[in-house]
């Protein structure tokens, strides 16, 4: 298995690494759950002050990475505060996360995790909305893990509906 947590020889270090790994895993699942429930203030609280959120994809049409949403925490906060002023996609969303690869390095960590998001329309029909992966950086502050960067790399490039909400 990859990652620093499994390479600890001291039992206390190993326990600490396991706890850190679990905390990062919990953070990633909390992210998905908060977005699904549109608890956006709480979702933003998972970001460190200097954190950045990015949504992008590789575009074979122009043969380069293309960034669809790239903002710092402050701008993200302003945009999320305006979400309810917008006319929005009426579908509810449900994130399904794969098992992440987590790499611990002291008070820093990074993770890669496959995800999919399903949309359920008001009439009850569901469909796959986006599939992709998260490429995340984390920082531990005052005993709490937070996002240092949260990057959504979408495989899906033809979206059924655009989004005012983070993915």
Partner 1 sequence: MYGHLRPNLPDTHYIDNRIYTDEQIFRDEQAHIFGKVWQFVCHESEVAMPGDFRCTQVAGKPVIIVRGQDGQIRAFFNVCRHRGAEVVREESGHASDFTCFYHHWSYRLDGTLQSVAKPAGYEAVKLDTAQLGLVPVRAELVAGLVFACLDPDAPSLREFLGGICEPFLQPLGTVPMEVFHFHKAIIHTNWKLWQDNNSERYHSMLHASNRKTLPWVMGKTSPMKLRIFPNGHSGYWSDGEATVNYEKGGYTGVTGGSLPGMRDNEMRVANLFPDLMINIRSNVVRLDRMVPLDAGRTLVEWRGLGVKGDDEDMRAMRLRHHNMFWGPAGRNLPEDVLAVESQMRAIRSDAVRYSILAREEDMNPTDDANLRAYYQEWGRRMGRSPSHADAVSK
- Write the binding mask 128 to 157 for partner 1: x where contact by CB under 8 A, - elsewhere: -----------------------------x
Residue among 22, 59, 105, 127 that touches partner 1 (CB under 8 A): 59
Q: Taking a C-beta distance cutoff of 8 angstroms, is the pair 13, 108 a contact?
A: no
Residue among 9, 11, 87, 122 that touches partner 1 (CB under 8 A): 87
Residue among 37, 66, 126, 127 that touches partner 1 (CB under 8 A): 66
Sign of CA dihedral 21, 57, 148, 86: negative
Cα 109 to Cα 31, 58, 127: the distances in Å are 16, 24, 33
Calpha distance 116→154 (Å, rounded): 9
For residue 48, the surrounding DSSP H or E stretch is strand 47-59
**Residue count, binding to partner 1 (CB under 8 A):** 33
Shortest Cβ distance from residue 67 to partner 1 (Å)? 6
Calpha distance 45→43 (Å, rounded): 5
Q: Is residue 122 close enough to count as binding partner 1 by CB under 8 A?
A: no
State whether residue 24 is helix, strand or coil.
helix
Q: Residue holding tokens 């490039």?
A: 157
Residue among 2, 78, 108, 144 that touches partner 1 (CB under 8 A): 78
Name which of 8 and 116 has its Cβ closer to partner 1.
116
State the residues that interact with partner 1 by CB under 8 A.
Answer: 55, 57, 59-64, 66-71, 75, 78-79, 82, 85-89, 157-164, 166-167
């Amino acid at each position: 298995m990859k990652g620093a947590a499994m390479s600890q020889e001291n039992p206390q270090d190993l326990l600490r690494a396991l706890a850190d790994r679990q905390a990062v895993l919990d953070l990633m699942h909390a992210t998905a759950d908060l977005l699904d429930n549109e608890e956006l203030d709480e979702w933003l609280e998972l970001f460190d002050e200097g954190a950045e959120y990015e949504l992008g994809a590789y575009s074979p049409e122009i043969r380069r990475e293309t960034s669809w949403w790239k903002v710092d925490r402050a701008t993200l906060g302003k945009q999320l505060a305006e979400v309810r002023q917008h006319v929005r996609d009426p579908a509810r969303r449900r994130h399904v996360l794969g098992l992440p690869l987590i790499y611990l390095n002291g008070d820093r960590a990074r993770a890669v995790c496959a995800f999919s998001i399903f949309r359920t329309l008001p009439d009850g029909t569901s469909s796959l909305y986006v599939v992709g992966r998260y490429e995340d950086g984390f920082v531990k502050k005052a005993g709490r893990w937070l996002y240092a960067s949260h990057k959504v790399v979408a495989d899906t490039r033809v979206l059924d509906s655009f989004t005012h909400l983070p993915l």
